[in-house]
Structures are given as structure tokens and as C-alpha cells.
Amino acid sequence: MQLPPNSFKQTLQQSRLQLGLFLALGNPLSAEILATCGYDYLLIDAEHAVNDLRSIQAQLQAIAAYPIPCLVRPPHHDPALIKQLLGIGVQTLLVPMVDTAEQAAALVSAMRYPPNGIRGVGTGLERGARWNAVPDYLTQVEQHSCLIVQIESRTGLNNLEAIAAVDGVDALFIGPSDLAASLGHLGEPAHPDVLSTIDDAIARIVKTGKRAGIFCTSPALAQRYATGGASFLALGADTSVLRSAAINLLNSVRPDAAKNGASY
């Protein structure tokens, strides 16, 4: 049995634009439905959403039947949690709040086996290794692993080039909401000063030779960031898509529904 290739990483290396959607509902059925919609990737969020190891694994299993890669965002940098996520078969991690090159290097170490890292060996217990059904897993897995670090603070911006220079960091992803808060514009990710800073950050990432990604809060911003050099965009989340679709459907029949609060 062969280890499945990381199609997200392969496309990332080709600099072809990828459009994705965050999964926050924690439900394998909704995840499977969204796997049929034509996105280039899905991302299970465990930083802000109610996803844990069991719900993440269930969604990975539901999505596995479809030709779409699924990324995961853990809530923090804990190497024990990273080990478990890799163990259940996660190939690409998007790690939040990376402010320094030292933090980035520690994340790389958490994803690699000794002597290049600190990941523990337990392939007979792990879905990622297909319970030892992949004979060369230990020597092949790192070439399929992908690490994306999030830049979402003033400190992270200041250290951007040093973070990008860390071997094993494949891409940098801008978190506009937290970045806006760090810049003094809480709740205003589309503030002109924030947008200007993001444009500059994307250009700086591209200049390092690494790939840039970002969460987009509107189609217009998605176009702006793609034009500016971003290689992968998150266009929204399943929660916002569900709510917007439900409101739009109701308003198409009863236009005053949202005003009356009936859509909430």
C-alpha cells in the first residue's frame, strides 16, 4: 500500500491558485457534501471551531472518497497534538499565531522524526500510516507533509522573512482578523491600513520564494489578494455559507425576514 500523495502541496509547488473553504461545523456529513462542490481544498478548523481529534478523523474519513485535500488548523503549537494529528492522517497543517523563526522551527521539528525532529513513532496505532500497511511510511511521510504558518500579529510581520527562511516551512498564511486587532483595528480586517499592510506582507512572502495564503472576507478582496500574488485563498467557512444561503433563500420569498430577526 502506498502513502497517498499530498495534492495540496504538489499544487502549491506549481504556484497554481487554490481556492478553499474552512470547515467549522464538526460534522462529517456536511464535510462530505462540501467535498463535492469543486473547491481545491477544505480546511478543518480546530482553533475557533468545535473540532477535536475524533471529529477531525471522522471528517477526514468522509472526505477521503473524494479527490480533494483536507488541511487542519490546530488550536496551538503543542507538539503532542501535532503528533496525534499527523497520526490520524493529516498531511497539511495550518498553525496559528507564529511570531518568530524559533516557533516555526519548533513546529517543523514536531512534524519530523528523529534525528531531524521529535515526532514519536507509533505507526502500528495510526491511521496516517494505515496501521503499518504502508511499509515505507517512516522514510516517505515527510516529503508529503506540508507546514503552513500563520502571520497574524505585528511581531509576526516584523519577523516575516526570518520565519519564511526556516527549512520546512512551505507557506505563510495571513490571518486578517487577528492582524487587524494587532494593528489597532479590532473588528476591521478591511480597514485601509490593514489592507495596505496585507498587500505588503503578501509581496514580501512572494519575494522570499515561499507561497502566500490568506482568509478572504469578500470576493473583491479575494481577487485583490490573488492579483497581489497569493497562491491559496480561503473564501469563507461552512458556517457563514450555511447562514448566508438560509437568509438568502428566506429573503427571496419574504424580503423583510432578516429585518424582523426571523432568519436568526
Q: What's the mean per-residue pLDDT of the chain? A: 96
pLDDT at res. 261? 52
Q: For the domain bounded by 7-247, which CATH number is listed?
A: 3.20.20.60
Determine which one of 48, 77, 185, 191 is catalytic: 48
- pTM score above 0.85: yes
48 in catalytic set: yes
Place of cell 531531524: 116
Give the span between the Cα atoms of 120 and 18, in whole angstroms. Answer: 32
* pLDDT tens-digit map of 47-75: 999 999 999 999 999 999 999 999 999 99
Place of cell 495540496: 8
Domain ranges (residues) in the chain: 7-247
Buried b (16+ CB within 10 A) or exposed e, 103-117: bbbbbbbbbbeeeeb
Residue 262 has pLDDT above 50, yes or no: no
Q: Dump the DSSP string for 44-71.
A: EE-SSSS--HHHHHHHHHHHTTSS--EE
Give the span between the Cα atoms of 232 and 12, in whole angstroms. Answer: 8
